[in-house]
Amino acid sequence: MERKFMIQQAKDNSFLAFSQTCEMVKSTTSKNMKIKIVSEYLRKLDDGNLKVACDLFSGQIFPPWEGIELQVGYSTILDILKEVSGLNEKTLVEIIIKNGDLGDAAEEILAKKTIRPLLEEEYDLVQVYARLKKVAEASGKGSVNEKKKILTGLYLNMTPLETKYLTKILTGEMRIGLVSGLIIESIAEAFNRRFEEVNESFLLINNVGETAILAKYGKLSEAKLVLLRPTNFMLAESMQSAEEIVDYFRKELICEFKLDGVRVQCHKKVDTIKIFSRKGNEVSTQFPEIVEDLLQIGHDFIFDGEVLAFKNGKPLPFSKLQTRLQRKYVDEKVVNEVPLMLFVYDILFFDGEPLYKMPLIERKKIIEKIGFTGRIKCLEYFLVSKREEIERKFFESLELGYEGLMLKDPSAPYTVGKRGKYWIKLKKELDTLDAVIVAA
Protein backbone atom coordinates (compact mmCIF):
# COMPACT_ATOMS: atom_id res chain seq x y z
CA MET A 1 0.00 0.00 0.00
CA GLU A 2 1.33 3.44 -0.91
CA ARG A 3 2.09 5.45 2.18
CA LYS A 4 0.83 9.04 2.23
CA PHE A 5 3.00 11.75 3.69
CA MET A 6 1.93 15.08 5.10
CA ILE A 7 4.10 18.00 6.15
CA GLN A 8 2.38 19.28 9.28
CA GLN A 9 2.83 22.41 11.37
CA ALA A 10 5.70 23.72 9.29
CA LYS A 11 5.89 26.75 7.05
CA ASP A 12 6.91 25.91 3.49
CA ASN A 13 10.31 27.67 3.63
CA SER A 14 11.18 26.51 7.14
CA PHE A 15 14.07 24.25 8.04
CA LEU A 16 11.49 22.09 9.78
CA ALA A 17 9.67 21.48 6.47
CA PHE A 18 13.01 20.61 4.86
CA SER A 19 13.77 18.16 7.68
CA GLN A 20 10.34 16.56 7.41
CA THR A 21 10.84 16.17 3.67
CA CYS A 22 14.23 14.52 4.23
CA GLU A 23 12.65 12.12 6.70
CA MET A 24 9.94 11.14 4.22
CA VAL A 25 12.47 10.62 1.44
CA LYS A 26 14.59 8.46 3.71
CA SER A 27 11.61 6.32 4.72
CA THR A 28 10.79 5.11 1.19
CA THR A 29 12.80 2.96 -1.20
CA SER A 30 10.63 3.88 -4.16
CA LYS A 31 12.43 6.10 -6.67
CA ASN A 32 9.12 7.49 -7.97
CA MET A 33 7.91 8.27 -4.45
CA LYS A 34 11.16 10.09 -3.64
CA ILE A 35 10.75 12.23 -6.77
CA LYS A 36 7.09 12.91 -5.92
CA ILE A 37 7.91 13.97 -2.34
CA VAL A 38 10.79 16.25 -3.34
CA SER A 39 9.08 17.80 -6.38
CA GLU A 40 5.96 18.70 -4.39
CA TYR A 41 8.16 20.23 -1.70
CA LEU A 42 10.32 22.26 -4.13
CA ARG A 43 7.26 23.68 -5.86
CA LYS A 44 6.23 25.50 -2.65
CA LEU A 45 9.52 27.30 -1.99
CA ASP A 46 10.47 30.87 -2.78
CA ASP A 47 13.61 31.46 -4.85
CA GLY A 48 16.16 31.85 -2.06
CA ASN A 49 14.95 28.83 -0.11
CA LEU A 50 14.60 26.77 -3.30
CA LYS A 51 18.28 27.25 -4.11
CA VAL A 52 19.44 26.39 -0.58
CA ALA A 53 17.14 23.34 -0.38
CA CYS A 54 18.52 21.85 -3.60
CA ASP A 55 22.12 22.47 -2.52
CA LEU A 56 21.50 20.85 0.87
CA PHE A 57 19.73 17.86 -0.71
CA SER A 58 22.89 17.34 -2.77
CA GLY A 59 24.94 17.28 0.45
CA GLN A 60 26.78 20.44 -0.48
CA ILE A 61 26.50 23.58 1.65
CA PHE A 62 29.04 25.62 -0.31
CA PRO A 63 30.29 25.01 -3.87
CA PRO A 64 33.73 23.33 -3.77
CA TRP A 65 35.31 26.03 -5.96
CA GLU A 66 34.58 28.69 -3.32
CA GLY A 67 36.99 26.99 -0.94
CA ILE A 68 34.66 27.61 2.03
CA GLU A 69 34.73 24.98 4.77
CA LEU A 70 32.82 24.78 8.04
CA GLN A 71 35.77 23.27 9.94
CA VAL A 72 33.47 21.92 12.62
CA GLY A 73 34.66 18.65 14.14
CA TYR A 74 32.74 15.88 15.89
CA SER A 75 34.09 17.04 19.24
CA THR A 76 32.51 20.49 18.78
CA ILE A 77 29.14 18.94 17.93
CA LEU A 78 29.39 16.63 20.97
CA ASP A 79 30.15 19.60 23.24
CA ILE A 80 27.07 21.40 21.90
CA LEU A 81 24.84 18.35 22.34
CA LYS A 82 26.08 17.94 25.91
CA GLU A 83 25.44 21.60 26.73
CA VAL A 84 21.98 21.81 25.13
CA SER A 85 20.70 18.45 26.39
CA GLY A 86 22.07 18.65 29.91
CA LEU A 87 23.03 14.95 29.68
CA ASN A 88 26.32 13.63 30.97
CA GLU A 89 29.03 12.41 28.61
CA LYS A 90 28.53 8.72 29.44
CA THR A 91 24.85 8.86 28.46
CA LEU A 92 25.66 10.79 25.29
CA VAL A 93 28.23 8.23 24.17
CA GLU A 94 25.83 5.34 24.87
CA ILE A 95 23.13 6.95 22.70
CA ILE A 96 25.59 7.65 19.89
CA ILE A 97 26.91 4.07 19.92
CA LYS A 98 23.37 2.69 19.94
CA ASN A 99 22.31 4.78 16.92
CA GLY A 100 25.52 4.44 14.92
CA ASP A 101 24.83 7.82 13.31
CA LEU A 102 25.45 11.19 14.92
CA GLY A 103 22.40 12.76 13.28
CA ASP A 104 20.06 10.03 14.54
CA ALA A 105 21.69 10.27 17.95
CA ALA A 106 21.21 14.06 18.04
CA GLU A 107 17.48 13.62 17.50
CA GLU A 108 17.20 11.22 20.45
CA ILE A 109 19.50 13.26 22.67
CA LEU A 110 17.69 16.55 22.10
CA ALA A 111 14.26 15.02 22.55
CA LYS A 112 15.26 15.21 26.22
CA LYS A 113 16.73 18.71 26.24
CA THR A 114 15.89 20.81 29.27
CA ILE A 115 17.37 24.14 28.21
CA ARG A 116 15.12 26.46 26.18
CA PRO A 117 15.90 29.95 24.80
CA LEU A 118 14.00 32.88 26.28
CA LEU A 119 12.65 33.79 22.82
CA GLU A 120 12.37 30.82 20.49
CA GLU A 121 13.06 31.34 16.78
CA GLU A 122 11.92 29.37 13.74
CA TYR A 123 14.44 29.36 10.92
CA ASP A 124 13.95 29.19 7.21
CA LEU A 125 16.62 27.64 5.00
CA VAL A 126 18.18 30.95 4.00
CA GLN A 127 18.63 31.89 7.66
CA VAL A 128 20.26 28.55 8.45
CA TYR A 129 22.56 28.92 5.44
CA ALA A 130 23.54 32.45 6.58
CA ARG A 131 24.48 31.17 10.03
CA LEU A 132 26.47 28.28 8.57
CA LYS A 133 28.37 30.74 6.41
CA LYS A 134 29.22 32.76 9.52
CA VAL A 135 30.50 29.55 11.11
CA ALA A 136 32.73 28.94 8.08
CA GLU A 137 34.00 32.53 8.09
CA ALA A 138 34.99 32.49 11.77
CA SER A 139 38.78 32.25 11.94
CA GLY A 140 41.73 33.10 14.13
CA LYS A 141 41.80 33.48 17.90
CA GLY A 142 38.46 32.69 19.51
CA SER A 143 37.00 31.20 16.31
CA VAL A 144 36.19 27.84 17.96
CA ASN A 145 34.06 29.57 20.58
CA GLU A 146 32.42 31.75 17.93
CA LYS A 147 31.51 28.71 15.82
CA LYS A 148 30.17 26.94 18.91
CA LYS A 149 28.08 29.97 19.91
CA ILE A 150 26.38 30.21 16.49
CA LEU A 151 25.66 26.49 16.29
CA THR A 152 24.44 26.32 19.90
CA GLY A 153 21.85 28.98 19.01
CA LEU A 154 20.61 26.82 16.15
CA TYR A 155 20.46 23.63 18.24
CA LEU A 156 18.62 25.40 21.08
CA ASN A 157 15.86 26.68 18.80
CA MET A 158 15.38 23.60 16.64
CA THR A 159 13.10 20.62 17.12
CA PRO A 160 14.78 17.22 17.60
CA LEU A 161 14.05 16.33 13.95
CA GLU A 162 15.66 19.57 12.75
CA THR A 163 18.77 18.91 14.84
CA LYS A 164 19.01 15.46 13.23
CA TYR A 165 19.32 16.98 9.76
CA LEU A 166 21.41 19.94 10.88
CA THR A 167 23.89 17.41 12.28
CA LYS A 168 23.84 15.38 9.06
CA ILE A 169 24.57 18.54 7.09
CA LEU A 170 27.44 19.51 9.42
CA THR A 171 29.02 16.07 9.16
CA GLY A 172 28.40 15.72 5.41
CA GLU A 173 26.45 12.49 5.96
CA MET A 174 22.90 13.07 4.66
CA ARG A 175 22.41 9.46 3.50
CA ILE A 176 18.70 9.73 2.68
CA GLY A 177 18.90 7.92 -0.66
CA LEU A 178 18.64 11.05 -2.77
CA VAL A 179 21.37 10.87 -5.40
CA SER A 180 22.15 13.71 -7.82
CA GLY A 181 20.09 12.22 -10.65
CA LEU A 182 16.97 12.03 -8.47
CA ILE A 183 17.33 15.69 -7.48
CA ILE A 184 17.51 16.64 -11.17
CA GLU A 185 14.44 14.49 -11.89
CA SER A 186 12.61 16.14 -8.99
CA ILE A 187 13.41 19.62 -10.32
CA ALA A 188 12.15 18.59 -13.77
CA GLU A 189 8.94 17.20 -12.25
CA ALA A 190 8.41 20.21 -9.96
CA PHE A 191 8.51 22.75 -12.78
CA ASN A 192 7.26 20.62 -15.68
CA ARG A 193 10.57 20.58 -17.61
CA ARG A 194 12.23 17.80 -19.58
CA PHE A 195 14.84 15.87 -17.60
CA GLU A 196 17.39 16.16 -20.45
CA GLU A 197 16.97 19.93 -20.52
CA VAL A 198 17.44 20.28 -16.74
CA ASN A 199 20.40 17.90 -16.72
CA GLU A 200 22.18 19.72 -19.57
CA SER A 201 21.94 23.00 -17.67
CA PHE A 202 23.09 21.41 -14.42
CA LEU A 203 26.14 19.79 -16.03
CA LEU A 204 27.09 23.12 -17.60
CA ILE A 205 26.74 25.46 -14.60
CA ASN A 206 27.64 22.79 -12.03
CA ASN A 207 25.19 24.00 -9.36
CA VAL A 208 21.93 22.25 -8.62
CA GLY A 209 20.38 25.20 -6.75
CA GLU A 210 20.93 27.63 -9.61
CA THR A 211 19.63 25.02 -12.04
CA ALA A 212 16.39 24.81 -10.04
CA ILE A 213 15.88 28.59 -10.30
CA LEU A 214 16.39 28.48 -14.09
CA ALA A 215 13.93 25.58 -14.34
CA LYS A 216 11.33 27.41 -12.26
CA TYR A 217 11.30 30.37 -14.64
CA GLY A 218 11.74 28.44 -17.88
CA LYS A 219 15.21 29.86 -18.46
CA LEU A 220 17.26 26.65 -18.71
CA SER A 221 18.46 27.68 -22.17
CA GLU A 222 20.19 30.67 -20.52
CA ALA A 223 22.63 28.42 -18.63
CA LYS A 224 26.15 29.28 -19.71
CA LEU A 225 29.81 28.82 -18.88
CA VAL A 226 31.09 31.26 -16.28
CA LEU A 227 34.76 32.21 -16.15
CA LEU A 228 36.55 31.39 -12.88
CA ARG A 229 33.91 28.80 -11.99
CA PRO A 230 34.41 25.16 -13.05
CA THR A 231 32.10 23.27 -15.34
CA ASN A 232 31.98 19.48 -15.49
CA PHE A 233 34.67 17.64 -17.45
CA MET A 234 33.96 15.59 -20.57
CA LEU A 235 34.58 11.88 -19.90
CA ALA A 236 35.84 9.00 -22.02
CA GLU A 237 34.93 5.35 -22.42
CA SER A 238 37.35 2.44 -22.84
CA MET A 239 37.83 0.01 -25.69
CA GLN A 240 40.08 -3.03 -25.62
CA SER A 241 41.74 -3.01 -29.05
CA ALA A 242 42.64 -0.92 -32.05
CA GLU A 243 40.45 -3.18 -34.17
CA GLU A 244 37.40 -2.48 -31.98
CA ILE A 245 37.99 1.27 -32.30
CA VAL A 246 38.40 1.18 -36.09
CA ASP A 247 35.27 -0.98 -36.50
CA TYR A 248 33.21 1.36 -34.32
CA PHE A 249 34.16 4.71 -35.88
CA ARG A 250 35.05 3.77 -39.49
CA LYS A 251 36.60 7.19 -40.08
CA GLU A 252 39.69 9.27 -39.40
CA LEU A 253 40.26 9.98 -35.69
CA ILE A 254 42.32 12.35 -33.57
CA CYS A 255 44.96 10.36 -31.69
CA GLU A 256 46.78 11.65 -28.59
CA PHE A 257 49.17 10.07 -26.12
CA LYS A 258 47.31 9.31 -22.88
CA LEU A 259 48.89 11.32 -20.08
CA ASP A 260 49.42 10.03 -16.55
CA GLY A 261 49.01 13.21 -14.56
CA VAL A 262 46.38 15.37 -12.89
CA ARG A 263 43.55 16.56 -15.10
CA VAL A 264 42.77 20.23 -14.63
CA GLN A 265 40.52 22.97 -15.93
CA CYS A 266 42.30 26.32 -16.29
CA HIS A 267 40.40 29.61 -16.29
CA LYS A 268 41.71 33.09 -17.04
CA LYS A 269 39.74 36.31 -16.75
CA VAL A 270 41.79 39.47 -17.33
CA ASP A 271 44.64 39.00 -14.80
CA THR A 272 43.07 36.30 -12.62
CA ILE A 273 43.91 32.61 -12.99
CA LYS A 274 42.07 29.73 -11.34
CA ILE A 275 42.92 26.06 -11.80
CA PHE A 276 40.30 23.46 -10.82
CA SER A 277 40.48 19.71 -10.19
CA ARG A 278 38.05 17.08 -11.46
CA LYS A 279 36.06 17.49 -8.22
CA GLY A 280 35.71 21.25 -8.75
CA ASN A 281 38.18 22.27 -6.03
CA GLU A 282 40.54 25.14 -6.77
CA VAL A 283 44.13 23.87 -6.82
CA SER A 284 45.94 26.95 -8.17
CA THR A 285 48.29 27.20 -5.18
CA GLN A 286 49.68 23.73 -5.94
CA PHE A 287 50.91 24.85 -9.35
CA PRO A 288 52.36 28.39 -8.95
CA GLU A 289 54.68 28.12 -11.97
CA ILE A 290 51.78 27.02 -14.20
CA VAL A 291 49.71 29.98 -12.96
CA GLU A 292 52.64 32.27 -13.75
CA ASP A 293 52.87 31.02 -17.36
CA LEU A 294 49.09 31.07 -17.90
CA LEU A 295 49.10 34.76 -16.95
CA GLN A 296 51.38 35.44 -19.92
CA ILE A 297 48.64 34.42 -22.36
CA GLY A 298 46.89 37.56 -23.57
CA HIS A 299 43.40 36.08 -23.77
CA ASP A 300 40.52 35.00 -21.54
CA PHE A 301 39.96 31.25 -21.71
CA ILE A 302 38.89 27.91 -20.25
CA PHE A 303 41.36 25.11 -21.05
CA ASP A 304 41.04 21.39 -20.40
CA GLY A 305 44.37 19.68 -19.94
CA GLU A 306 46.69 17.69 -17.74
CA VAL A 307 49.56 18.58 -15.42
CA LEU A 308 52.50 16.15 -15.46
CA ALA A 309 55.78 15.89 -13.66
CA PHE A 310 58.06 16.43 -16.66
CA LYS A 311 61.82 16.63 -17.08
CA ASN A 312 64.27 16.52 -20.01
CA GLY A 313 61.46 16.17 -22.54
CA LYS A 314 59.90 13.12 -20.86
CA PRO A 315 57.14 12.49 -18.32
CA LEU A 316 58.22 11.41 -14.86
CA PRO A 317 56.33 8.65 -12.97
CA PHE A 318 53.05 9.75 -11.40
CA SER A 319 54.52 8.96 -7.99
CA LYS A 320 56.84 11.97 -8.43
CA LEU A 321 53.84 14.23 -8.96
CA GLN A 322 52.10 12.67 -5.95
CA THR A 323 54.97 13.59 -3.62
CA ARG A 324 54.51 17.20 -4.68
CA LEU A 325 50.72 17.15 -4.36
CA GLN A 326 51.07 15.95 -0.78
CA ARG A 327 52.99 19.08 0.19
CA LYS A 328 50.95 21.71 1.99
CA TYR A 329 53.17 24.53 0.74
CA VAL A 330 54.92 24.71 -2.62
CA ASP A 331 58.12 26.74 -2.51
CA GLU A 332 60.94 27.26 -5.02
CA LYS A 333 62.74 24.14 -3.80
CA VAL A 334 59.69 21.95 -4.50
CA VAL A 335 59.22 23.57 -7.92
CA ASN A 336 62.81 22.70 -8.84
CA GLU A 337 62.69 19.18 -7.42
CA VAL A 338 59.55 18.19 -9.33
CA PRO A 339 59.23 20.33 -12.49
CA LEU A 340 55.80 20.41 -14.11
CA MET A 341 54.34 20.77 -17.59
CA LEU A 342 50.73 21.59 -18.49
CA PHE A 343 49.55 19.92 -21.69
CA VAL A 344 46.43 21.63 -23.11
CA TYR A 345 44.25 19.39 -25.28
CA ASP A 346 40.89 21.16 -25.36
CA ILE A 347 39.34 24.60 -25.07
CA LEU A 348 35.80 25.45 -23.96
CA PHE A 349 35.85 29.25 -23.96
CA PHE A 350 37.99 31.88 -25.67
CA ASP A 351 37.76 35.69 -25.51
CA GLY A 352 34.07 35.90 -24.74
CA GLU A 353 32.98 33.02 -26.97
CA PRO A 354 31.85 29.57 -25.70
CA LEU A 355 33.41 26.91 -27.94
CA TYR A 356 32.22 23.64 -26.39
CA LYS A 357 29.60 23.02 -29.12
CA MET A 358 32.17 23.47 -31.88
CA PRO A 359 33.70 20.31 -33.50
CA LEU A 360 36.86 19.13 -31.75
CA ILE A 361 39.06 19.60 -34.82
CA GLU A 362 38.05 23.28 -34.93
CA ARG A 363 38.76 23.68 -31.21
CA LYS A 364 42.19 22.14 -31.81
CA LYS A 365 42.96 24.74 -34.48
CA ILE A 366 42.18 27.54 -32.01
CA ILE A 367 44.51 26.00 -29.42
CA GLU A 368 47.32 25.73 -32.00
CA LYS A 369 47.11 29.44 -32.78
CA ILE A 370 47.53 30.58 -29.17
CA GLY A 371 51.29 30.06 -29.06
CA PHE A 372 52.16 28.61 -25.65
CA THR A 373 55.52 29.18 -23.98
CA GLY A 374 57.33 28.06 -20.84
CA ARG A 375 55.72 25.21 -18.96
CA ILE A 376 52.59 25.06 -21.13
CA LYS A 377 52.34 23.04 -24.33
CA CYS A 378 49.62 22.18 -26.81
CA LEU A 379 49.33 18.39 -26.69
CA GLU A 380 50.50 16.96 -29.99
CA TYR A 381 47.95 14.90 -31.91
CA PHE A 382 47.90 12.69 -35.01
CA LEU A 383 45.22 11.69 -37.49
CA VAL A 384 44.73 7.91 -37.76
CA SER A 385 42.20 5.66 -39.44
CA LYS A 386 43.80 2.19 -39.62
CA ARG A 387 44.39 -0.48 -36.98
CA GLU A 388 48.12 -0.58 -37.76
CA GLU A 389 48.47 3.17 -37.26
CA ILE A 390 46.76 3.01 -33.89
CA GLU A 391 48.86 0.06 -32.71
CA ARG A 392 52.07 1.75 -33.83
CA LYS A 393 51.19 4.92 -31.93
CA PHE A 394 50.18 2.88 -28.89
CA PHE A 395 53.58 1.22 -28.54
CA GLU A 396 55.31 4.52 -29.28
CA SER A 397 53.39 6.10 -26.37
CA LEU A 398 54.62 3.40 -23.99
CA GLU A 399 58.23 3.82 -25.12
CA LEU A 400 57.99 7.55 -24.40
CA GLY A 401 56.63 6.96 -20.88
CA TYR A 402 52.93 7.59 -21.46
CA GLU A 403 50.17 5.09 -20.61
CA GLY A 404 48.40 4.48 -23.90
CA LEU A 405 46.25 6.48 -26.31
CA MET A 406 43.17 8.68 -26.45
CA LEU A 407 41.20 8.38 -29.69
CA LYS A 408 38.72 11.19 -30.31
CA ASP A 409 36.00 11.90 -32.85
CA PRO A 410 37.12 15.08 -34.68
CA SER A 411 33.53 16.17 -35.29
CA ALA A 412 32.47 15.83 -31.63
CA PRO A 413 31.37 18.71 -29.40
CA TYR A 414 32.68 18.92 -25.83
CA THR A 415 29.90 17.06 -23.99
CA VAL A 416 30.14 18.60 -20.53
CA GLY A 417 29.91 16.09 -17.70
CA LYS A 418 29.05 13.13 -19.92
CA ARG A 419 30.79 9.85 -20.57
CA GLY A 420 30.48 8.62 -24.12
CA LYS A 421 32.17 7.22 -27.18
CA TYR A 422 33.30 10.53 -28.61
CA TRP A 423 36.51 9.96 -26.60
CA ILE A 424 38.01 6.49 -26.24
CA LYS A 425 40.78 5.29 -23.91
CA LEU A 426 43.16 2.60 -25.11
CA LYS A 427 45.44 1.71 -22.21
CA LYS A 428 48.17 -0.79 -21.40
CA GLU A 429 46.00 -3.88 -21.84
CA LEU A 430 47.09 -3.89 -25.48
CA ASP A 431 50.66 -4.34 -24.30
CA THR A 432 49.99 -7.86 -23.00
CA LEU A 433 50.97 -10.82 -25.16
CA ASP A 434 48.87 -13.88 -25.84
CA ALA A 435 50.85 -16.96 -24.83
CA VAL A 436 50.29 -20.68 -25.25
CA ILE A 437 51.83 -22.97 -22.64
CA VAL A 438 53.07 -26.23 -24.17
CA ALA A 439 54.17 -29.23 -22.11
CA ALA A 440 56.98 -31.30 -23.59
Catalytic site residues? 258
CA–CA gap between residue 125 and residue 55 (Å, rounded)? 11
How many C-beta atoms lie closer than 10 Å to residue 37's C-beta?
23
Q: Cite the beta strand spans of 239-291 per DSSP E.
A: 253-257, 262-269, 272-276
- Residue 124: phi, psi to the nearest 5? -95, 175
Reduced to 3 states (helix: H, G, I; strand: E, B; else coil), residue 185 is helix
CA–CA gap between residue 267 and residue 295 (Å, rounded)? 10
How many C-beta atoms lie closer than 10 Å to residue 140's C-beta?
6
What residue type is assigned to position 239 of the chain? M
DSSP string, 210-224: HHHHHHHTT-GGG--
CA–CA gap between residue 200 and residue 139 (Å, rounded)? 38
CA–CA gap between residue 338 and residue 309 (Å, rounded)? 6
Reduced to 3 states (helix: H, G, I; strand: E, B; else coil), residue 409 is coil
For helices 31-43 and 47-57, the axis angle rounded to 10 degrees is 150
How many C-beta atoms lie closer than 10 Å to residue 299's C-beta?
11
How many helices and strands, by DSSP H and E, does the chain display?
18, 12
Among the listed residues 324, 57, 355, 369, the one whose alpha carbon sits nearest the alpha carbon of residue 186: 57
Pairing of strands 253-257, 314-315: unpaired
**Sequence-ordered list of residues with C-beta below 8 angstroms from that of 141, at least 6 positions apart, any chain:** none
CA–CA gap between residue 63 and residue 228 (Å, rounded)? 13
CA–CA gap between residue 225 and residue 415 (Å, rounded)? 13
Pairing of strands 376-378, 340-350: parallel
